[in-house]
Structure 1
Amino acid sequence: MSPARPYLLIAGCGYVGQRLAARLRDRFEIAALVRSNDKAAALQRQGLKPVVIDLDRVRAGASIPERLDQEAIVYLAPPPATGESDLRLDRFLQLAIVPPKTFVYMSTTGVYGDAGGGFVDESTPVMPRTDRARRRVSAEEMTRVWCHERRVRRVVLRVPGIYGPERLPLERLRQSEPVVRPEDAGISNRIHVDDLVTACEAAIMNKEARGVYNVTDGTSISATTFIDMVAELTGLPKPPRVTMEEAQLTFSPERLSFLNESRRVGNDRMLKHLGVKLRYADPVAGIRASLEG
């Protein structure tokens, strides 16, 4: 009789989680936590074991699927859209009775705030400027306390913009949506979804990994430069340019919140300590792979 596979719970099994599950399904028994029956049905068709819990409305008696020998919990669910605290994560941690060996939390590089185009790494103090980033700082602290009290190895992955198949700005290009002109555009960072999945896998498998890791491709360019790359590789026209002053009048508050922050995020710790080997350090290669599906 073959030994039981180690047990893994993915909380928030969407764009990233489904790819992580596909990567690990031969080595782990995986449970996937989702918030709706429709999402559960889609995961069942992929051969996964979904569990439906809406962390915004947890019913009395609700429980998450746990085993005494849990290898890891990978928490990928986003925070709520309002407030300065992640109440979804708080409810999840109250339900999590059995401590896993490892807790992986996907955060954001937005916690660093605006560095004026300067360099930040994991030693840089967090300076969140938006409620969205404050919710992430709150969540990081929540996981720190929870894991410390239970002696659980904790890994926080601070992630910038995620791109990949079906996550390129193709519709924006087709609609000729304007972008900020290059001389006004700040510096941003991104990661291909496959490399993010590799970082999640390394966080689980590398027993020496703990603490915070920035997960980026190491190529810090503006959002305008990135969308121009996509236009060139697809043959679509480059988008019209506007000044930052014009953008402040016409862009959505959420889009402006990203444009108003500029930073170069270092990834040395991810490469050297977490042990991630990037497939798409060059965004051109990552965009080409994304277009191929």
Structure 2
Amino acid sequence: MGKPRLLIIGCGDVGMRLLPLLRARFRIFALTSQPARCAELREAGAIPIVANLDNAASLAKLAGLAPYCVHLAPPRSEGASDIRTQNLTAILPDKSRLVYISTTGVYGDCGGASFDETRTVRPQNARAVRRVAAEQALRAWAKRSYSNLSILRVPGIYAADRLPIERLQKGTPALADADDVYTNHIHADDLAKLIMLALFRAKPQRVYHAVDDSDLKMAAYFDLVADAFQLPRPPRLPRYELAQQVSPMLLSFMSESRRMQNQRVKRELGMRFQYPTVTQGVDAALDSVLQHHRFKDNN
């Protein structure tokens, strides 16, 4: 009784990691379009609400429900705008506090440059264009509703169960070093922590890079995981050869190079990473897998 209300939109893996960090402070509602997930959400400490962001009428029950919101839902996979975010802003109360999980893809290819949050966005694929549209829609909503908006731009999320093991097992090639791109990372648990900190500490209408301290090229990340799990390293190919062997979507991920600075989350949010680098996160993932196998062997 008396706890402020928080609404989580898109309560998947990261949302489930966020729930234990917030349920003592908030009465949490979780939107789901899948009735089969209600029991799981209740067990994790949330009150499930069945509705669909693609159906504006189904969201009426959420109108004015919670002054705090975490928006984790991605846009749909077509179009130039984000209808889901537009539908959401129609039912949020004035003077809300919202944390939106966007993507580092809004910057496009930066040629491996290192930069902070002041860099202008330059989306270069349809997915990133929709994310920029979502950010713009939320900024307009925050301005007219006197609300506090925080945007976390998130890179590749990894965890023990979110590693490229299947890709390595298939032998999918990676780029040769001369053509390779710099990528950014965040452990799923650290992202959940960052979302919690943003709810309480973020400045209004502020963008934050939700990235760790790693400075890795993409193939080096694959090699790191392969070595840890005793898998073959992926073959390296020049870009023109790799383009003939991978899907256009995968190639697009391997065509944008950027190194994003994270001083703002440390300085303004007080973030202390549990896994400051991918090396530490992969080591912890390996330990977790080994402990799981030992437990199974002993039982």
**TM bracket, shorter-chain basis:** over 0.9
1:75 correspondence with 2:64: no
SS at match of 2:160: coil
Gaps of 5+ in 1: none
Task: Indicate which of 24, 49, 68 corresponds to 2:47.
Answer: 49
User: 2:14 is aligned with what amino acid?
Assistant: V
Map Cα deviations across residues 140-184 of structure 1 (whole Å, 9 max, x no partner): 111111011111111000111100131001111122222222332
User: Does 2:180 match 1:185?
Assistant: yes
Measure how far apart 1:100 and its partner are. Answer: 5.1
Contact map agreement 2:201 2:268 (CA 8 A) in 1? no
Structure 1 residue 22 displacement after superposition: 1.9
Q: Using structure 2 for the length normalisation, give the TM-score.
A: 0.91
Q: Which residue of 2 aligns with 1:40?
A: 38
Structure 2 runs not aligned, ≥5 long: 290-299
The alpha-carbon deviation at position 250 of structure 1 amounts to 1.7
Q: Distance in 2 between matches of 1:29 and 1:44?
A: 12
- Determine the C-alpha separation between the residues in 2 that align with 1:60 and 1:206: 32
Partner of 1:276: 271
**Do residues 30 (structure 1) and 28 (structure 2) align?**
yes
Structural mapping, 1:77-156, within 5 Å: 77-96=73-92, 98-99=93-94, 101-156=96-151
RMSD: 1.8
Distance 1:207 1:71, change over 3 A: farther
Q: Which amino acid aligns with 1:89?
A: T
Output the CA distance in 2 between the equivalents of 1:79 and 1:213. Answer: 20
Give the Cα–Cα distance (whole angstroms) in 2 for the partners of residues 60 and 33 of structure 1.
11
1:209 is displaced (CA, Å) by 5.7
Q: 2: distance between equivalents of 1:218 and 1:124? A: 19
The yes-or-no answer on 1:62 pairing with 2:60 is: yes
Secondary structure of 2:177's aligned partner: coil
Give the Å deviation of 1:21: 1.1
In structure 2, the residue matched to 1:250 is 245
Name the structure 2 match of 1:14.
Answer: 12
Q: After superposition, what is the alpha-carbon deviation per residue over 1:169-205, rounded to whole angstroms, capped at 9, x for unaligned? A: 1111122222222332111111111111111011111
CA shift for structure 1 position 121: 1.4
* Deviation of 1:11 (Å): 0.5
Hey, what's the Cα distance between the residues in 2 that align with 1:155 and 1:60?
A: 26
Measured against aligned partners, the alpha-carbon deviations of 1:56-106 in whole angstroms (never above 9, x if no partner) come to 234467321644xx441010000111111111111111232x235311111
Q: 1:200 aligns with which of 195, 198, 218?
A: 195
Structure number with higher helix proportion: 2
* Aligned-partner Cα distance in 1 for 2:33–2:282: 30
Which 10-residue stretch deviates more, 196-205 or 236-245? 236-245
**Distance in 2 between the 1:100 and 1:21 partners?**
23
Structure 1 contact 73–100 (Cα < 8 Å) conserved: no
Task: Give, as a single letter, the amino acid of the residue that structure 2 aligns with 1:95.
Answer: I
C-alpha change, 1:60 and 1:25, in structure 2 (3 Å) is closer
Matched pairs, number: 288
State TM-score, norm by structure 1: 0.93
- Partners in 2 of 1:257 and 1:61 — Cα distance? 34
